[in-house]
Amino acid sequence: MIFGNSKVPSAELVVIGDEVVSGLILDRNSQYLGEKIHELGIEVSRITTVGDSASAIEDCVKLALKRSDWVVLTGGLGATHDDITKSVLLKVFECGLKKDSKVISMLEEMFRVRDREVPEMVRSQCEVPEKAEILYNEKGTAPGFKMRQGKTVLFSLPGVPLEMQFLFEKYVAPEMATQKNKTFLHRLIRTTGISEADLWAKVGPLESLQEKAAIASLPSHLGVRIRISVLADSKGEGESRLDEVESVLTQRLSRYIYGRDEEGLEEKVGALLKERSLTLATAESCTGGLIGHRLTQVSGSSDYYKEGFIVYSNEAKVDRLGVKLKLIEEFGAVSEPVARAMAEGVCRVTGADIGVSVTGIAGPSGGSDLKPVGLTYIAVHDRSGTVCEKFIFTHDRIKNKERSAQAALDLVRLKIQEESRA
């Protein structure tokens, strides 16, 4: 990764375990480590997943030590037959084992509070590589190790996520941070309602922006996150460069940007409602309550979220919201007129300032040539009137529901923002 003309230090991750290679467990360790190490201004150049094969692990470690400044291993430090990372490190670093008295006392205390003796197999954790600095594990039985070959530093961490994260935060991150002579900063811009291709087409050429910062595109079915990163001589310089790049992106993408860093769309909508002393009610068909669920994930949402209806059947739409049966018979439940009537009805029934409705064909069945799977209508009603938008999503039921909820919240956001400018 290059920030301007500065080459950043590199790190490699080696994830060890047959259970990871076979897909029996999902590797979240490398996701966590990759993000945290990147935030320290260090490039993660490779992530290698390898099974419980001594020769394969040895090959991976030797290659990583030759080409990277930092090497982080996870897994294979337990006390069972398939935990062989420690024995591989002995071979790579050409050293033997020694007993560590602090590990012994920590294990004894851990089992004492459980009123148990330390199992003989677990006692093997007291034996550590002679050339290693010990990373004492207060969250489990397996200590981690720090070893050095030339200018390269290797950290070997347990595979249990809780233990790995504890040791990384206590030992690894502080050491990586002290080796930097520059300041690393980043921001996350969150967008929705536009595809990745269309987004970057609107932004246009990136060359001038990339001279100031590294720009990463992080797409998902709910939107595109844009990560801006800088490596600078000072925090002030870094913030200035971030401001400059963010300003350009905001000018070109303002309609689609709903938040920054960790701010979610439901939090943004909640903040807008609260700021303007408005209340919201929801009328959901195909999303089955997902919009209401997301809104109420935010603390304090009772200040603005008034009520929600899951009107899955035609009868519910008629009985609960006052949608005319004739309207459904003429246009179908999945139609713009019905979506509008639902949004208007939920405001009328609840007295909310704003009503949002969604009706669609989530799939994978139920579609037709005229109304394909993924067809969705979303309406928002307030005192100024009703707006309705048509969407055609995919054939994936879960993603269709999630996309519909996202689009509904975004239409509420846009409606409030446009009303405030009027």
Helix (H, G, I), strand (E, B) or coil at 348: helix
CB atoms within 10 A of CB 359: 29
Extract the tokens encoding 329: 């018979």
- What is each CA distance from 88 to 51, 55, 282, in whole angstroms? 13, 8, 58
Which residues make Cβ contacts (< 8 Å) with residue 328, sequence separation at least 6?
A: 314, 317, 318, 338
Whether the CB-CB separation of 269 and 282 falls below 8 Å is answered with: no
pLDDT digits (tens, 9 = 90+) for 25-51: 999 999 999 999 988 888 899 999 999
Amino acid at 160: V
Model pLDDT, residue 2: 46
Q: Are 361 and 372 in contact (CB under 8 A)?
A: yes
Rounded Cα gap, residues 291 and 141, in angstroms = 43
The whole-angstrom separation of Cα 294 and Cα 303 is 15
Structural domains of the chain, with CATH: 2-178 (3.40.980.10), 183-260 (3.30.70.2860), 265-421 (3.90.950.20)
- How does pLDDT run across 384-406, given as a tens digit for each residue? 999 999 999 998 999 999 999 99
The pTM (predicted TM-score) of the whole model is 0.77
Please tell me the least confidently modeled range out of 14-28, 122-136, 179-193, 389-403. 179-193
Of all residues in the chain, what percent carry a pLDDT higher than 90?
Answer: 87
